Amino acid sequence: MDSTPAAGENISVLRKARGMGQTKLARLSGISVSYLSKIENGDRPATPPVVAALAKPLRVSTARIYGQPFLGLTEQADLLNDLRDAVRRHTLPREDAPAPDELTSRLQKAARLRSDTKYLELLRELPALLGQATATALDAGSDALAWRQLANLYGCAYAVTHRFVQPDLADMIVARQQWAAQSTWNPAAEAAAAWNEAGTHQSAGAYDDGLAIVERAISQYQGSRSDGPESIVILGSLHLRGVVLASRHRDKNATESHLQHAKRYATRLDGDVLMHNLTFGAGNTALYELAAHVELDQPNKAVEMSTALVAQPPAGLKPNRLGRLFIDLSRARLAMKDAPGAEEALKAAFRVSPQMAEIHPMSREVLRVLFIMNQRARPDLLAMAERAGLTA
């Protein structure tokens, strides 16, 4: 992976380019000068809510602050360009429709790669696969199944562009997913697209707008839903998205409301269920609750929750969810000034979900702080920092 400046370095460069001192930027962002200084120096991680607050007066995107280590002469950059071209040509696929069994097999592979956080491998599949799925849907006319397959595939494409910090491409993909979902005549497909739409606002730090998307999607879907597992997964997942948005917006009441709704829906499922690229159940709800504690500056509660979750991870959860568990735990432990514990959690994230751990903004931020604290004294820490491109 190419080396990329850390968030703190980017903030410092952007601040100086705007002619701002630390005092002015801190005041406009609603944080203390001391906190801003520690972020710029690499002594504190740049968390999503703080980055969102800083991005506004700096007049840049949150992606610009976190940096984009995937834009050089790398395979990732080439593949992202191929994907961008495929998404742009969404009504003009170059590929022909394959045999139904072949398409189904490739779609299942893409879903597995997403769940296993094998993002580079997924990127290799997506451009041609999107063309094939689109050609199939266009040939099928009003066949709802073909359009649902395409909508779900766009969900996979959203996941990978979100992880590779490509907000403009992610926005375009969500629009394509909504286009495909409208042809399914299935409200669940449209609600799944809304889940990703809210995610684009989350990535941009527009948490209130994301919450509005979630609340609208819940209201619309409740008016057309059935009482089967699909409805539970859709509504529960929307509430989990609400948990993230509300906790980053520092709205404890909204966070608790969405969390309680999700918990009630989770009791109606036997374990965690994956549908429309959405995972929902009691296990995943617990992981979102832990993450909310971190966002609401309650790291002690997150660490307390983690004991049972780490000892016996919820059955059925894929690496994309377990990787997030350990990344969130590393944040909580670092906030509790437990540097060895934070390093241990990051090691677990690299074991269970290596590609996510290498590129996730908060994994990189925690790793950066630990690396600055310890420099080259800890070989395992150095190895993780090298894999994430943080040592050059």
| Chain segment 268-305, per-residue pLDDT in tens | 999 999 999 999 999 999 999 999 999 999 999 999 99
> CA 267, 198, 295 angle in degrees (round to 5)?
70
**Token representation of residue 12:** 């410092």
Q: Which domain holds residue 283?
A: 186-297
Q: What does each C-alpha distance from 27 to 22, 46, 52 come to in angstroms? A: 8, 17, 14
Within-domain flag for 130? yes
Do 280 and 216 fall into the same domain?
yes
What's the burial of 216, exposed, middle or buried (CB within 10 Å: 0-12/13-18/19+)? middle
Within-domain flag for 355? yes
Do 37 and 75 fall into the same domain?
no
**Token representation of residue 60:** 């840049």
Q: Please, what's the largest Cα pairwise distance for the chain?
A: 62
Do 161 and 231 fall into the same domain?
no
Question: Which of 183, 180, 198 lies closest to 234, judged by CA?
Answer: 198
**Cα separation of 392 and 379, whole Å?**
16
Write out residues in the chain with pLDDT < 50, as ranges. 1, 73
Within-domain flag for 239? yes
What's the burial of 376, exposed, middle or buried (CB within 10 Å: 0-12/13-18/19+)? exposed
C-beta of residue 373 within 8 angstroms of C-beta of residue 362 = no
Neighbours of 387 (CB within 10 A): 16
Within-domain flag for 302? no
Q: What is the CATH number of the domain that holds 55?
A: 1.10.260.40
Structural domain count, the chain:
4
The percentage of the chain sitting over the pLDDT mark of 90, rounded to a whole number, equals 83
Do 87 and 151 fall into the same domain?
yes
Within-domain flag for 303? no
Do 61 and 102 fall into the same domain?
no
pLDDT of the residue at 68: 64
pLDDT of the residue at 134: 97
- Of 139, 160, 182, at which residue does a domain stop? 182
Average pLDDT of the chain to the nearest whole number: 93
pLDDT of the residue at 375: 57
> Which amino acid type is present at position 119?
Y
**Cα separation of 376 and 372, whole Å?**
9
Within-domain flag for 143? yes
C-beta of residue 282 within 8 angstroms of C-beta of residue 273 = no
| Chain segment 95-111, per-residue pLDDT in tens | 999 999 999 999 999 99
Do 272 and 338 fall into the same domain?
no
C-beta of residue 85 within 8 angstroms of C-beta of residue 127 = yes
Read out DSSP for 141-158?
Answer: TT-HHHHHHHHHHHHHHH
Within-domain flag for 99? yes
Q: Is the pTM of this model over 0.85?
A: yes
Do 176 and 231 fall into the same domain?
no
CA dihedral 208, 210, 213, 216 (to 10 degrees): -50
- Of 182, 205, 225, at which residue does a domain stop? 182
Do 271 and 292 fall into the same domain?
yes
